[in-house]
Structures are given as structure tokens and as C-alpha cells.
Amino acid sequence: MRSLAEGLLLLVILTDFAVLSMSRLSACIRAVAAQGLLLGVLSLVVEGAWSVHGIGLAFGTVTVKAVLLPWFLRWAIREASVRREVEPLVGYMASLLLGAGALVVSFAVAARLPATESPPLLVPVALATLIIGLVVLITRTKAVSQVVGYLMLENGIYVFGLTQSRRVPFLVDAGVLLDVFVGVFVMGIVLFHINREFDSISATQLSELKE
């Protein structure tokens, strides 16, 4: 069980770097969807035993993070006919290096943390995914890629939350998932309007409001 969890966590890191390196928006969305699927399976593996809570959580996670949200984001870029490249402010090579830096920092920090009962890779992978999500959020100009970054940030926190999943009741898990879903849904609607007003979903054009 433990080695399976470690394998899944390594795959989560791979999807992090996939998002950093891919130039096509639809590929980034696919990578985040794959990450959502991995998280769903991971929650089952970490739970250990088959329980209603574990299965419900895994099912909810996969539905929201791997199916509904990616599908919705793809709809948003198709309807908005966004140019396909992600247009980073920082080059792909540089953002990969930032990602590698984030990974090193995460492992260094996690090694100094007090121990938890969860698989040893869980905390560093959570931190790395969180930081890489922030990197994507800050360095990409397309509003859609910012949503992808936000989803990764949220995924990192979710992985950390798995250390506590057995203790947090189902109602809370459901509430958290629902909030993430509605949050991205609202962002998607705003994206759609941004495109209609500005003819492109680039956050750099959103610069009328300043002191």
C-alpha cells in the first residue's frame, strides 16, 4: 500500500512539471485533470481500508477535479477561441528551474517538520504542488492558466489535507469540494465575459484600475 502511495505521489510531481513545461493550454488542462484523477486514487490508498467516507471522497474528487472542472475550462477556451499558447511571462526553461527549486525547498522544509503518521512523501509533494501552483498563477498571463495555477494550489492543499482525511468528517470534505467547484465555476463565467469584452483572455489587459 505504502509503495503504491509513493508511486502516485511521484506521478503528482510529474504532472506539476508537465504543466510548467507545456505550451498548449489544452495540454495544461489535461495535465491538471490527470492530477485530479491521481488525487482521487491517492485518497483511497491513504485511507487504507474501504469505507463509505473514503469511497465518497475519492468519487467526489475525481468527479470535480478530473471531470467537471477540466471539461468546463476546455469549454471556456473553446467558446472564447483563445489562442492556444499559454504566453508565460517567464520562459519555459526558467519556470522549470523555478519548479525544481520549489521541489528542493519543499523536501528541505519537510525534512525538518515534526513527523506525521502519513507516507513520508506526502508533505513534500503537497508543498511542492502548492508552490508550483503559485508559480503558474503568477507567471502566466492568460486568465485560464491562472485558473489552472489556482487548481494546482488547491490540489497541493488537498494532498496535505489527506494527512488528516480520516479525522475530518465527510460533510466538511463535501463542503470543501463544493466550494472549489463553485469557485472555479464562477471564475469560468468571468473568463467567458472577459473574452467577450476584451477579445482575448489575457490578464495583462486587465490594467485599467490603478492608483
Partner 1 sequence: MSLLALVLLPALAATFAYFVNEPATRTGALLGTAGLHLALTAGLWLTPRSPALGGWLAADGLGLIILSLISLLFLVVAGYANGYLRTRSARDRRVFTSGMLAFLAAASLVTLSHHLALLWVGMEATTLSMAPLIYDRHDRRSLEAVWKYLVLSSVGIALALLAVFLLATAQPSAPGARPLVLDDLLAGAPSLDRWWLRASFVFALAGFGTKMGLAPMHTWKPDTYGEAPSLVGALMAGGVTSCAFVGLARFTQVLAAAGLAGFARPLLLAFGLFSLVVAAAFIVGQADVKRLLAYSSVEHMGLLVLGLGLGGWGTYGAVLHVLNNGLVKGWLFLVVGNLVLAAGSSAAADVRGMLRARPVSATLVVAGLFAVTGSPPFGLFLSEFAIVSGAVREHHPLVAGAALLLLAVIFVGIARMILEMVLGERAGPEEPGAEREGAWMVAGPLALAVLVLMLGSYLPAPLRAELARAAVTLGGSAP
The reply to whether 52 sits near partner 1 by the rule CB under 8 A is no
Q: Please say whether the beta carbons of 146 and 203 come within 8 A.
A: yes
d(CA 52, CA 201) in angstroms, rounded, equals 41
Choose, by CB under 8 A, the member of 32, 60, 194, 202 that binds partner 1: 194
Within 10 Å of residue 1's Cβ, how many Cβ atoms? 9
Q: Alpha-carbon distance 166 to 163, whole Å?
A: 8
Q: Directed axis angle between helix 143-161 and helix 69-79, to 10°?
A: 170
- 204: contact with partner 1 by CB under 8 A: no
Distance between first and last Cα of the chain: 55
Query: Distance (Å, rounded) from C-alpha 132 to C-alpha 166?
Result: 27
143 binds partner 1 (CB under 8 A): yes
Residue 72 contacts partner 1 per CB under 8 A: no
Give me the least distance between CB of 201 and partner 1, in Å please.
Answer: 10
Q: Is 3 in the site for partner 1 (CB under 8 A)?
A: no
Does 116 help bind partner 1 (rule: CB under 8 A)?
yes
Helices (H), ranges, the chain: 2-21, 25-47, 52-61, 69-79, 92-112, 122-139, 143-161, 170-198
Q: How far is the CB of 93 from partner 1 (least distance, A)?
A: 26
Q: Which is nearer to partner 1, 7 or 176 (CB)?
A: 176
Among 67, 96, 105, 176, binds partner 1 (CB under 8 A): 176
Task: Kindly state whether residue 182 participates in binding partner 1, applying the rule CB under 8 A.
Answer: yes
Among 100, 161, 170, 200, binds partner 1 (CB under 8 A): 161
Handedness of CA 14, 17, 21, 23 (dihedral sign): positive
Contacting residues toward partner 1, per CB under 8 A: 113-114, 116, 130, 134, 137, 143, 146, 150, 153-154, 157, 160-161, 163-164, 167-168, 171-172, 175-176, 178-179, 182-183, 186-187, 190, 193-194, 197-198, 203, 206-209, 211
